[in-house]
Chains A and B, each alone.
Chain A
Amino acid sequence: MIVKEFRELVRDRRTVGLLVALPLILLVVFGYAANFYVDHAEAAVVGPDAAKVAGQLPDFFDVTTTDASATEQDARDMLRDDEVDVVFVTSEAGVKALVDGSNLFAAQSIVAGLNSMGDKVTTEVLYNPDLTTSWVMIPAIIGLILTFIGTIVTSIGLVRERESGTIEQLAVMPIKPSTVILGKITPYFILAAIDMVIVTVLGMLLFDVPFNGNVLTFALGAAIFLFVVLGIGVFISTISQTAGQAIQTAFFILMPQILLSGMIFPLEAMAAGVRWIGYLLPLTYFTMISQGVMLRGAPIASLWLPFVVLTVMAVVVFTAATLRFRRDLAPERKPSKRAGGAA
């Protein structure tokens, strides 16, 4: 029985992959990424004494901007647009630190650093004054739920068509491949959108998470992100023969998104090599949009980067996935070199 089990295991490449990759991923993630402490913060200093104050700040603060002519309103705009983590506003009345509370772990480190400076600086935390974890987590969890539906549920739904053999029947029927793909994906898009609304509203009602920004900006970001994750789901279905394989593959894709997108561990605290993995993950960019819109009320112009990255990802992933799925519905022009299909 034991020998039989080993033989089966060795021949199941995905399980072997999971057995090898999972410990490695966990080792790398928890070794290099699992760190809540942010050891530096990007800072701007504005107001008449900007240059002087910038020179007196501890090394923890990485001053990227010094602007003597900028006002407190300019400082607030810089935080809203996620240009820095903290802005020191100098005036005759003293120095005031405005901290971006939507960047929770950086804000916690900044506030701790400011407290150690005594009364020299007054502190105001914006967007998340009590540094409540749920306020930061709920916008990210919305993305996680969309990822879950987009990858796991969609891929299972599509692969079921292959498992039951009905995909061949669809190929014989007078339906265009594009119609089949649209018909298969639309329900999941709608279900994910409904889930997103429910989670967002519940998050606001149960945890008092604010929604300071434009709903349409949020909806647009979610729709683009959904195309990315639905594309991943469709892609998984094209490389899986069974629902079990689809779940395994989706798990491979889902786990890094949870651990490395900045949802749990701050990207700034990760080792550079691991952080770049995070920058390749779509959830990282959706989280930027959802936290930006919900907490900071960021306008679309200041979120151009995550919007552009997600749009490129959506076009690439969705196109590749639908082209692969289409191959199951319309015969190739040239024979495939894949084995199988003989009977």
Chain B
Amino acid sequence: MSVALRAVDVTRRFGHFTAVDSVTMEVQPGEVVGLLGANGAGKTTLMRMLLGLLPTSAGDVEMLGGPPNRDRRRRVGYVPQNLGLYRDMTLAENLAFVCDTYGTPVPALPDGLEPYARTLVAEMPLGAQRQAAFVAALSHGPELVLLDEPTSGVDALARAALWDTIRGQSDEGVGVLVTTHYMQEAQQCDRLLLMSRGRLVAQGSEADIIGDTRALAVRTDDWAATFAALNAADAPVILDGRSVRVADLAQSDVEGILRGAGLHATVEAVPATIEERMLVLARADARAD
């Protein structure tokens, strides 16, 4: 089976600003690929080029066997960040419009959406809106699905339901490219692409990307003061609940900062998370400039 989506050295410049810089990537049928990166990393710009909605400044895109065009986009499902639903139309009216455009029958609504059939989209909860955008995007049986921040702003339960839908699509052989800045969602993907400042800085499975990267877990009774001291020293510190962690800094440096601040804490090297690995890669990328 041919590749669902491929980009080769794709670049996009806006004047002097390079939003996407020589990105090469691909999505196979049945594969869920996560495009991770902080806000402004270039994820949405890359996705718009992959769809053919934004021309590339350099490089080539192949979508479902050829350059992205209207005929091939017909075989693609797309959920943009802002969902692409008409907020002053009901859910049923939105679905009718989409299905009429694609010439497909209107699908049955999932149980969770049934009560909202005659509700204006603007009046639906965000989780239901996102679910509705999925239903609309998948109604024509696409072979490739592109999802831009599909779970942004929804609660954990709704997020899990949306990921069930994504995995269901990949099980049916649909290639899925999903952007997110929720690092926890990385575990749901078969493969990850990490972007920083327009560049692809790593790719592979979560384990591949993290590798043997270590982070420092700082155990302390005064997490607020510890965080403040490390942050003031410009250390790459992450606060996860009440737990303070530091990436990309030597243990002795961290201990020195805390000693200087008069704080008592134990510092232990632990396996890094994907978010911490991302931080390390982003800092390395910045230093390379």
> Is A bound to B?
yes
CB of B136 to closest CB in A, whole Å: 9
Instruction: List the A side residues contacting B279 at CB < 8 Å.
Output: none
B55 touches A331 (CB 8 A): yes
The answer to whether B19 touches A342, judged by C-beta atoms less than 8 angstroms apart, is yes
Contact B52 A331 (CB under 8 A): yes
**A172-B73, A174-B73, A174-B101 known; A341 vs B14 contact (CB < 8 Å):** yes
Q: Which of A7-15, A85-93, A160-168, A256-264 forms part of the interface with chain B?
A: A160-168
The smallest beta-carbon distance between A53 and chain B, in angstroms, is 67
Task: Name A342's contact: one of B42, B57, B73 (CB within 8 Å).
Answer: B42
Say if the beta carbon of A116 comes within 8 Å of chain B: no
**Inter-chain contact B45/A343, CB cutoff 8 Å:** yes
Interface flags for A170-213 (1: CB within 8 Å of B; 0: not) read: 01111110000000000000000000000000000000000000
Q: Does B53 contact A (CB under 8 A)?
A: yes
Interface-facing stretch out of A102-110, A281-289, A332-340: A332-340
Q: Given A168-B80, A172-B76, A174-B102, A341 and B19 touching (CB < 8 A)?
A: yes
Which residues from chain A contact B53 at a C-beta distance below 8 Å? Answer: 168, 171-172, 331
Chain A residue total in the interface (Cβ 8 A):
24
Nearest chain-A residue to B73 (Cβ)? A172
Complex Cα distance A292/B246, Å? 81
Indicate whether A56 reaches chain B with its CB closer than 8 angstroms: no
Interface segment, one of B84-92, B185-193, B211-219: B84-92
- Complex interface: chain B residues within 8 A of A172 (CB): 51, 53, 73, 76, 78, 84
Complex-state Cα separation, A165 to B53, whole angstroms: 13
Main secondary structure of the interface of A (DSSP, over half): loop
- B39 interface hit (Cβ, 8 Å): yes
Q: Flag if A339 contacts B14 (CB, 8 Å).
A: yes
Q: Inside 8 A of B70's CB, which chain A residues have their CB?
A: 174, 176
Task: Please tell me if A69 contacts chain B, counting CB pairs below 8 Å.
Answer: no
> Is B44 located at the chain interface by the 8 A CB criterion?
yes
A-B contact pairs, 18 of them (CB 8 A): A164-B82, A165-B80, A166-B84, A168-B53, A169-B78, A169-B80, A169-B84, A173-B98, A174-B73, A336-B14, A337-B14, A339-B15, A342-B12, A342-B14, A342-B40, A342-B44, A343-B19, A343-B43
Q: Which 5 A-B pairs have the closest CB atoms?
A: A169-B84, A343-B44, A165-B82, A342-B19, A174-B74
Q: Which residues of A contact B (CB under 8 A)?
A: 164-166, 168-169, 171-176, 331-343
